[in-house]
Structure 1
Amino acid sequence: MMRKQHSGNWFNEGFVGRAAQPGKIVTNIRSGGTALSIDDLIRPYVNERSKRKIIASLNQLGQSVSDKLERLYPGIFLFGIDIGLDQNMKPWIIEVNTTSARQRLSKLLGC
């Protein structure tokens, strides 16, 4: 979730990872998916150094997407960017939302 700061910069307020049930591909919580921290989601697949690089890459992607969309939709200050990671940990943008999933994020992060 990317939020525009008073400084004019975009800030990642946090990640909400989602995993499908075993044998399923749908990660939607209502369809049986599970919310996870980004650490828990990718830890089984990469080492610590790679995990840090992936998180930095996702942050950079979020800032870039937000900068571009802000030019098209002035005045929007919040984007929820859904990103999937393939087996090589390459990010794929699924969709970008302008409505908040803040409650789910707060619950997952314990805020």
Structure 2
Amino acid sequence: MKNALGKLDQYRLLQNHPLVHEHLPDTAEYTKENLVYFANRYPVVFIKHDTSGQGRGVYKLSKESDHLYSLSGYSLQGKEVDQVMDIDEIHKTLQPFERLGRTQPYIVQEGINSVSVQGQHINIRVHVQHVNGKPAVGGIYGSIAYEENGITNICRGAFAMPMRLLFFIFLKVKKDEQQDILNKLMEVSVAASEVIANHYPCRECGVDLGLDQNLKPFIFEINTTPGMEDFARIDRQMWEQIVANRKKMSDSTK
């Protein structure tokens, strides 16, 4: 049994679901050829290590000129990267030991323009739990990244907040439209979590999503061992709901 479900395996499972596949950015296994294809096709591309977490091994690629690209993000060791290089140099940065037959597993992913009205990058976390065989949304919050690399991981300095603040301050969404967006975010997250739970032994999923310029949700990735510490700071009621759900889940296994 696998210890972790990689990002590429997630994508392959999710793209077969009739609802969820409409909310997935184009994603492929990292190869130099796929990197070239994505870099030519999309204005922004994200390169992510297949199994790493906490924002490590995640890079944002954007075109600077005909042959040069900006690469920004964090290495697998957590070191910040911010350079302008050509594709050959980028590939060597990502796969420094390829000539020795040792490569790292990455994915390449279409960059979704999930930004606030001021241009800050936005991420939304939906915490889905499977209680007594049924999925339940324990909590949801938004986060803003102030860095240009667009990495919205809390461990990399992103600022987390309740959804009402994200809608009101950063997205300027009218109050009567907010619930419809929340409902769609939760619907897509629950459906995606059920797909993952049907193929991988997990009782909770942290679904990370963005919203494009039309406020359509797109799933970035799913964490099968989500933490809940951020909910304790952002919304005590949601944190208590997640704790209560976990207790029900534990009681059901006794």
What is the TM-score with the length of structure 2 in the denominator?
0.40
Which one of the candidate residues 4, 8, 13 is aligned to 2:138? 13
1:52 maps to which residue?
179
**Partners of 2:164 and 2:181 in 1: CA distance:** 10
Residue identity matched to 1:99: T
1:82 maps to which residue?
208
- Whether 2:153 is the aligned partner of 1:28: answer yes
**Partners of 2:162 and 2:232 in 1: CA distance:** 11
CA RMSD of the aligned region, Å?
A: 1.7
1:103 maps to which residue?
229
CA apart distance, 1:2 = 0.2
**Partners of 1:81 and 1:61 in 2: CA distance:** 9
2:97 maps to which residue?
none
Residue identity matched to 2:166: L
**Partners of 1:27 and 1:67 in 2: CA distance:** 25
Q: Deviations over 1:29-53 (max 9, x none)?
A: 2333110111111224211121100
Relative contact order higher in (CA < 8 Å, ≥ 6 apart): 1
1:41 maps to which residue?
166
CA apart distance, 1:26 = 2.7
CA apart distance, 1:22 = 7.2
CA apart distance, 1:78 = 0.2
1:68 maps to which residue?
195
Instruction: Name the CA shift for 1:24/1:41 in 2 (closer, same or farther; >3 Å).
Output: farther
CA apart distance, 1:104 = 1.4
**Partners of 1:70 and 1:28 in 2: CA distance:** 23
More strand by share: 2
Residue identity matched to 1:42: F
**Partners of 2:221 and 2:155 in 1: CA distance:** 18
SS of 1:12's equivalent in the other structure is strand
Indicate the percent of aligned positions where both proteins have the same amino acid: 27
Task: Say if 1:43 and 1:51, in contact at 8 Å, map to a contact too.
Answer: no
1:91 maps to which residue?
217
**Partners of 1:2 and 1:62 in 2: CA distance:** 7
What is the TM-score with the length of structure 1 in the denominator?
0.86
**Partners of 2:142 and 2:134 in 1: CA distance:** 23
SS of 1:92's equivalent in the other structure is strand
2:128 maps to which residue?
2
CA apart distance, 1:69 = 1.2
Residue identity matched to 1:3: Q
- Unmatched 5+ residue regions in structure 1? none
Matched residue count: 109
